[in-house]
A and B are shown apart, each in its own frame.
Chain A
Amino acid sequence: MTTQPAPAAPQRVQSTPPSRSNRWRLPRLGRVILWAFVALACLLSVAPFYLMFVWASLPGDQIFNVPPHFWFGNAFAENIQRMLVATDYLALRYFWNSLYIATLSTVTTLFFCSLAGYAFAMYDFRAKGYLFGFILLTMLIPPLVMDIPSFLVMNNFLHWIGEPRALWVPGMANAFGIFLMRQYIVSALPKSLIEAARLDGATEFGIYLRVVLPLIRPILATLGVVTFVASWNNFKGALIMKLSDTTTTTLPLALRKITGGATNVNVDWGANLMLVLLTVIPLLIVFLFASRQVISGLTSGAVKD
């Protein structure tokens, strides 16, 4: 991704020849030990994913084999079949429900957050500082405190319980997204560009749509992936808002219901692990697609003040 604004190169007065003195010069053995430490960490990060795939490819009665299998079996297709039958072919429906909520959540979040972030970055208006400060302040509320009251609003006032919009509407314009967008736009877009578009007779919304949006694609990708992943993984929200009908239930909720928790050995693990894979694979795809962008986008938001 080269679209990130390049930070100005530090002006370094070089009186001595460039040195790598700030790095550790370790003896070979020390370096090998350090690399082994990093390699072990990577291995442990990946191991559960690897096991997930290995187990999903084994016949159900071999998953909990002693000694365990560490290499792939040949029951992958069979397990897919079993999963479809075990869920009355509803697994794909759950998948669709999750996708539907995550997509709506992502699109609306990107729109509203970038719009507000743009306003805070590029306009001067009365009480701007207070309004932005207030938005940042709301980030301090722990999500847990919101669980009960938001259920009550959905249940007793809006009657949205059991409906997908209970999951994606409240977070459409969220503090984190607005903050991330504002930080990026302040550093990446010159004000003169907006002025130029204005002189050309563009409307304010037109400027946002045709000038700003195309130029902030990198940060849109970051926030988009983060929002999609968070929505896709939202278990507690779906649990609280009772998305329990087969027509509305999401994958994580269905996963928990079907496997009956994690310790039950007497279920069809071949089928269940397929459902686990169905939940995890989209995340892997989305993330591997944009991991660099997401990591750099997220941490740049964290470092800047």
Chain B
Amino acid sequence: MQKRVPLTTSPPRPRWSYARFQQHFAPYIFTSPFFILFLIFGLFPLGFSLFLAFHLWSPLDGLGNWQYVGWENFQLALGARDQFWAALKNTVFIGLLAGVPQHLVALPLAFVIHQSLRRWQGAVSTVLFLPYITNAVAITIVFGMLYSERLGLLNYLISGLGLDPVRWLGNPSMVPYSVAMVVFWRYVGWNVVLYLSGLQAISEDVYEAATVDGASSWQKFFYITLPLLRPMMFYAFTLTIVGNMQLFEEPYILLGQSGGSGGAGLTSATHIFNVAFRDLDMGYASAMSWLLFLAIFVLSMVNNYLFSRGGGRS
């Protein structure tokens, strides 16, 4: 064997150079802001909140003056004396009322836009996306005006059809529907945009192959489009679940802190907000926020389970 001769002779490198030093440390420095901020505004608060969930404390008492109560906060929430269950039930009910139709409308809408509106796609998705970026307070105030019992536009239209006016915000059994309508309106477009991008990611080759095999339009939709859209549907469902379980602005603006007549619009987020910032019972509020976290986690897991069954994961 011949001895290898280096093709180029590089000058001997110094053991330490500023260039190499900063190259080595740059990524750590560049990513450190996140970790520093997370430590101060994320990890520490989370730990503190978990600690408080087992204590009785008001922020006015000052640090250190907390009283250990064990699982009492959790027991109070899960017992019948508090509104926790009622609020959770309202939240899930409103979430379903807004969430299920959202996807039942968004999916076909996205499909129609994708199939037959190619040239107008951009404009249409911009228009449908508008509600998503709007200020919740401002738009909820406008909806509140639409819901006005005697003078609102909705009841005007309804009376035009010869029907009795609806007490949108005055009737406890109507309240969840009124809140859900605002939520539905705000997020349909966002889901359409998600589904649209999912549809666009499906390769046309698959459809062409199916056509060659003689598949009908319906077959293509049910056996190609839907299965290939599963990951996006899972993502969109998850966002809806996580978002709807934390519903706050819409009911708060429409109905006030109490959740309106009969408390039918009192969501978990509003209830926790009231306990924390009106009653200043931070330990109890912390315990409830962890219970809500658990509820969100369980629902997400159920969603995950439903989607992972029978394959289709990518």
Most buried by A among B108, B133, B189: B133
- From B112, B130, B204, B220, contact of A37 by CB (8 A): B112
Q: Report yes or no: A24 in contact with B115, Cβ–Cβ below 8 A.
A: yes
Q: With the chains together, A172 CA to B37 CA distance in Å?
A: 8
Closest A residue by C-beta to B292: A144
Q: Report yes or no: B22 in contact with A64, Cβ–Cβ below 8 A.
A: no
List of B residues within 8 angstroms of A16 by Cβ:
212
Q: Report yes or no: A142 in contact with B30, Cβ–Cβ below 8 A.
A: no
List of B residues within 8 angstroms of A240 by Cβ:
273, 277
Q: Report yes or no: A148 in contact with B282, Cβ–Cβ below 8 A.
A: yes
Q: With the chains together, A266 CA to B296 CA distance in Å?
A: 39
Contact with A along B2-33 (1 / 0, CB 8 A): 00000000000000000100111011101101
- Interface residue count for A (Cβ, 8 Å)? 104
Contact with A along B256-292 (1 / 0, CB 8 A): 1000000000000100110011000010011001101
Looking at chain B's contact residues, is the secondary structure mostly helix, strand, loop, or mixed? Answer: helix
Q: With the chains together, A123 CA to B23 CA distance in Å?
A: 9
User: Least Cβ distance of B110 to chain A in Å?
Assistant: 10
Residue A184, interface by CB 8 Å: no
List of A residues within 8 angstroms of B211 by Cβ:
19, 21-22
Q: Report yes or no: B197 in contact with A263, Cβ–Cβ below 8 A.
A: no
Q: Report yes or no: B30 in contact with A143, Cβ–Cβ below 8 A.
A: no
Closest B residue by C-beta to A112: B33
Q: Which of B72-80, B93-101, B240-248, B303-311 contacts A (4 or more CB under 8 A)?
A: B240-248
Q: With the chains together, A279 CA to B248 CA distance in Å?
A: 19
List of B residues within 8 angstroms of A269 by Cβ:
145
Residue A173, interface by CB 8 Å: yes
**Residues of A121-179 contacting chain B, CB below 8 A:** 123, 125, 128, 131, 135, 138, 141-153, 155-156, 169-170, 172-175, 178
Q: With the chains together, A119 CA to B126 CA distance in Å?
A: 33
Q: Which of A78-86, A88-96, A214-222, A252-260 contacts B (4 or more CB under 8 A)?
A: A252-260
Residue A229, interface by CB 8 Å: yes
User: Least Cβ distance of B300 to chain A in Å?
Assistant: 9
List of B residues within 8 angstroms of A147 by Cβ:
272-273, 276, 289
Looking at chain A's contact residues, is the secondary structure mostly helix, strand, loop, or mixed? Answer: helix
Q: With the chains together, A63 CA to B185 CA distance in Å?
A: 23
Known: A23-B115, A208-B30. A150 touches B41 (CB 8 A): yes
Residue B83, interface by CB 8 Å: no
Residue B193, interface by CB 8 Å: yes
Known: A38-B117, A146-B46. A19 touches B277 (CB 8 A): no
Q: Report yes or no: A142 in contact with B197, Cβ–Cβ below 8 A.
A: no
**Residues of A32-50 contacting chain B, CB below 8 A:** 34-35, 37-38, 41-42, 44-46, 48-49
Q: Report yes or no: A256 in contact with B253, Cβ–Cβ below 8 A.
A: yes
**Residues of B126-178 contacting chain A, CB below 8 A:** 126-131, 133-148, 151-153, 156, 169
Residue B254, interface by CB 8 Å: yes
Q: Report yes or no: A51 in contact with B246, Cβ–Cβ below 8 A.
A: no
Closest A residue by C-beta to B198: A303
List of B residues within 8 angstroms of A118 by Cβ:
30
List of A residues within 8 angstroms of B27 by Cβ:
119-120, 123, 125, 128
User: Least Cβ distance of A171 to chain B in Å?
Assistant: 8
User: Least Cβ distance of B160 to chain A in Å?
Assistant: 9
User: Least Cβ distance of B256 to chain A in Å?
Assistant: 6
User: Least Cβ distance of A6 to chain B in Å?
Assistant: 14
Closest A residue by C-beta to B249: A235
Contact residues of A with B, CB < 8 Å?
A: 10, 12, 16, 19, 21-24, 26, 31, 34-35, 37-38, 41-42, 44-46, 48-49, 51-52, 55, 63-68, 112, 115-116, 118-120, 123, 125, 128, 131, 135, 138, 141-153, 155-156, 169-170, 172-175, 178, 198, 201, 203-205, 208, 229, 232-233, 235-236, 239-240, 251-252, 255-256, 259, 261-263, 265, 269, 272, 276, 279-280, 283-284, 287-288, 291-292, 295-296, 298-300, 302-303
Name 9 interchain pairs, CB-CB below 8 A, sorted by A.
A44-B185, A131-B35, A142-B296, A147-B276, A156-B62, A172-B37, A233-B136, A262-B140, A299-B197
